[in-house]
């Protein structure tokens, strides 16, 4: 990214840097990794600039298909990825803030001038044409299914078939700004005490679950009372079900097989004095587990290992409980990671399902007879959820499904209050 010769607090500056992030995703890169690299390269950015760049990139990527449906009508030749990304950001902003149309067009042109000056006229012409087209733009988006629902066509078709009563609500939830929930570390604070601290800081919140608080509005983590002191962690309300369902008891040997970034490991340790082994395949992500546990005053054995290769990490002593929070499509948390809409492909679901099968088949061997394993995903697709568990139980005669609130499993479809998760609790008979 060249040096942007624009005021750091200008809309054009934020547009240019956000477009660079969107461009990386268009070219197949990871949004979160790219954003963290930008922050390391720009340590002097004020909070307002950091927030603006993030908001423009994330919100534009949530709008999958919408801007492209417009550009197909106005551009005969595909533009370079950066210009396409910049136009997508400007189109999203125009739809959200039509009263700022003049400023948006002007600042998008300035962003183009700063990065690709030879194409500033293209940006100006396209955006002014959009303003002239008026209601036709909305009609173009309505006529395109991907633009209307802001998800890839294969994703929409899959959900429509698998969730015939809820597919539109699930898609709509995937386009929202995500909720922000906290988990109280009950080893260091009580729920009422934390809620009082939040109230004193002018942060409205209400209780969810036994140790959760749902904030009325998202706040920077650094400004949360008690976070630095390890009294609270940020964790979605749906994710907080994992430790409650596994329900570890004092003295038990527990495995968190896919632990990073460590939120569920920490929650298990906050609930009971257990001997916890946390595995993580990636060394850098394993360091995040250590850091999170240290902030909360918790201890566990953290190993870098592929949980499927039990010969390399298992000492032969069986576990009483296992959390198998397996890699998945992350389709239930897509609003937090909107690049997933752009990066996932139809065939990826079968690949994830195959990997999940390898993981739980291997982990089952390390569970003691009478022990329990909680299978968890943040996916909304049946192949990774109910279908996976049906396959597992068919192939493992010693697997017994334990009901959750009278149901075979727990399906949490994403809503305004929590992300999408799937949980299935299995007991090893024998």
Q: Residue 220's domain is classified under what CATH number?
A: 3.30.70.1170
CATH code where residue 70 lies = 1.10.940.10
Whether residue 263 is found in the same domain as residue 401? yes
Angle at 271 between CA 265 and CA 274, to 5 degrees: 70
Asked if the structure places residue 170 within a domain, the reply is no
* 279 and 224 together in one domain: no
Whether 271 and 418 map to the same domain: the answer is yes
CA distance 326 to 341: 20
- Do residues 152 and 160 make contact, with C-beta atoms less than 8 angstroms apart? no
Residue 267 has, within 13 A of its CA and on its CB side, a CA count of 30
Question: In this structure, is residue 173 part of a structural domain?
Answer: no
175: closest CA among 139, 148, 153?
148
Counted domains in the chain = 3
The contacts of residue 19 (CB under 8 Å, 6+ apart) are: 82, 85, 86, 89, 111, 115
Tell me the C-alpha distance between 142 and 148, whole Å.
5
Q: Quick one: 248 and 206 in the same domain?
A: no
Averaged pLDDT in 10-residue chunks for the chain of 430 residues = 84 97 97 96 94 97 97 94 98 97 98 96 97 94 97 98 97 96 97 95 95 95 93 98 98 97 97 98 95 97 97 97 98 98 97 98 98 98 98 97 96 97 96
Instruction: Show the domain range for 78.
Output: 11-150
Residues linked to residue 3 through DSSP beta bridges, in sequence order: none
Claim to verify: residue 301 and residue 416 sit in the same structural domain = yes
Closest among 176, 240, 248 to 211, alpha carbons compared = 240
Evaluate whether 246 touches 372 at the Cβ level (below 8 Å). yes
Query: Sign of the C-alpha dihedral, residues 351, 357, 362, 366?
Result: positive
Do residues 418 and 277 share a domain? yes
Which among 108, 104, 128, 129 is positioned nearest to 119, based on CA atoms?
108
**Token pair of 282 as six digits:** 């990636």
Q: Which two tokens stand for residue 187?
A: 């080893």
CA 70 to chain centre: 27
Domain end among 235, 258, 276? 235
Domain match, 208 and 243 both: no
Distance CA 195, CA 180 (A): 14
Residues 6+ apart with CB under 8 A from 33: none
CA distance 370 to 254: 14
Whether residues 132 and 229 fall in one domain? no
The two tokens of residue 237 are: 């309300």
| Nearest CA among 361, 393, 359, 395 for reference residue 377 | 359
Q: Does residue 393 have an active-site annotation? A: no
Both 270 and 245 in one domain: the answer is yes
Which position among 141, 258, 307, 378 bears the catalytic label? Answer: 378
CA distance 418 to 321: 25
């Amino acid at each position: 990214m060249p040096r942007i010769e624009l005021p750091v607090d200008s809309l054009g500056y934020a547009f240019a840097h956000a477009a660079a992030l969107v461009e990386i995703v268009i070219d197949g890169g990871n949004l979160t990794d790219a954003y963290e690299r930008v922050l390391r390269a720009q340590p002097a950015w004020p909070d307002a600039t950091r927030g603006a760049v993030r908001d423009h990139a994330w919100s534009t990527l949530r709008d999958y298909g919408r801007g492209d449906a417009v550009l197909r009508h106005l551009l005969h030749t595909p533009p370079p990825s950066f210009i396409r990304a910049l136009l997508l950001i400007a189109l999203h902003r125009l739809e959200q803030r039509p009263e700022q149309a003049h400023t948006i067009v002007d600042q998008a042109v300035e962003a183009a001038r700063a990065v690709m000056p030879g194409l500033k006229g293209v940006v100006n012409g396209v955006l002014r044409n959009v303003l002239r087209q008026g209601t036709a733009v909305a009609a173009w988006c309505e006529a395109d299914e991907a633009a209307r629902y802001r998800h890839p066509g294969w994703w929409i078709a899959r959900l429509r078939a698998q969730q015939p009563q809820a597919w539109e609500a699930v898609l709509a939830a995937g386009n929202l700004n995500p909720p922000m929930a906290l988990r109280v570390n009950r080893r260091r604070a009580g729920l009422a005490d934390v809620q009082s601290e939040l109230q004193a800081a002018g942060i409205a919140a209400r209780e969810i679950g036994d140790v959760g608080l749902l904030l009325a509005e998202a706040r920077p983590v650094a400004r949360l009372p008690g976070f630095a002191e390890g009294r609270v962690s940020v964790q979605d309300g749906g994710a907080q079900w994992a430790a409650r369902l596994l329900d570890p008891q004092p003295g038990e040997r527990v495995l968190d097989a896919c632990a990073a970034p460590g939120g569920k490991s920490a929650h298990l340790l906050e609930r009971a004095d257990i001997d916890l082994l946390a595995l993580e395949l990636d060394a850098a992500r394993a360091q995040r587990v250590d850091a999170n546990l240290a902030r909360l005053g918790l201890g566990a054995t953290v190993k870098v290992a592929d949980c499927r290769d039990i010969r390399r990490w298992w000492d032969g002593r069986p576990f009483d409980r296992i959390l198998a929070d397996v890699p998945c499509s992350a389709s239930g948390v897509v609003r937090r990671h909107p690049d997933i809409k752009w990066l996932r492909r139809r065939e990826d679901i079968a690949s994830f399902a195959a990997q999940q099968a390898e993981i739980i088949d291997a982990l089952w061997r390390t569970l003691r007879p009478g022990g329990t394993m909680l299978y968890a995903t943040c996916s909304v697709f049946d192949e990774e959820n109910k279908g996976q568990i049906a396959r597992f139980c068919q192939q493992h005669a010693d697997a017994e499904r334990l009901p959750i609130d009278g149901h075979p499993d727990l399906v949490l479809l994403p809503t305004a209050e929590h992300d999408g998760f799937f949980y299935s609790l299995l007991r090893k008979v024998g």
